């Protein structure tokens, strides 16, 4: 599976990449929301993992831009990966167009369970 992880922290990217490699996934990385949107415009991904709090374009804005593409690239499942604990955050993410939500620190079991659920619900 080809995955894009949009995350400004290099350590978080390394940890998630190691987890995904165990499952045979190929992960591309973007360090900002704007870079993530540009990568989705240029290439199709089967899954997008999106941090929320990044300098410049935040994750919610990036999700809205990706969904606005309106083609298959913009319809890729998006899972938010965040440490933010705001009370309405989950609802805000789903409203923006995310398919699901994982809290940091990310456990491999939780990440794979959410990915499996999202992929099944999207017919993959």
| Per-residue pLDDT tens digits for 66-90 | 999 988 899 999 999 999 888 899 8
Sheet strand arrangement including 47-50: 26-30, 2-6, 47-50, 78-82, 100-103
Domains defined along the chain, listed by start: 2-121 (3.40.50.2300)
Handedness of CA 80, 98, 27, 115 (dihedral sign): positive
Q: What is the mean pLDDT of residues 45-51?
A: 97
Measured at the alpha carbon of residue 8, what is the angle toward residues 35 and 56, in degrees to the nearest 5? 60
With 80 as the cut, is the pLDDT of residue 123 above it?
A: no
């Amino acid at each position: 599976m080809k995955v894009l992880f949009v995350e400004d922290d290099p350590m978080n990217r390394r940890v998630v990449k190691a987890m995904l490699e165990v499952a045979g996934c190929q992960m591309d990385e973007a360090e900002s929301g704007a870079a993530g949107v540009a990568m989705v415009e240029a290439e199709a991904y089967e899954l997008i993992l999106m941090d929320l709090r990044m300098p410049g374009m935040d994750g919610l804005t990036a999700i809205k831009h990706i969904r606005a593409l309106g083609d298959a690239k913009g319809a890729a499942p998006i899972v938010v990966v965040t440490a933010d604990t705001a009370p309405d955050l989950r609802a805000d993410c789903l409203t923006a167009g995310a398919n699901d939500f994982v809290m940091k620190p990310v456990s491999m079991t939780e990440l794979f369970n959410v990915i499996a659920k999202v992929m099944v619900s999207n017919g993959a």
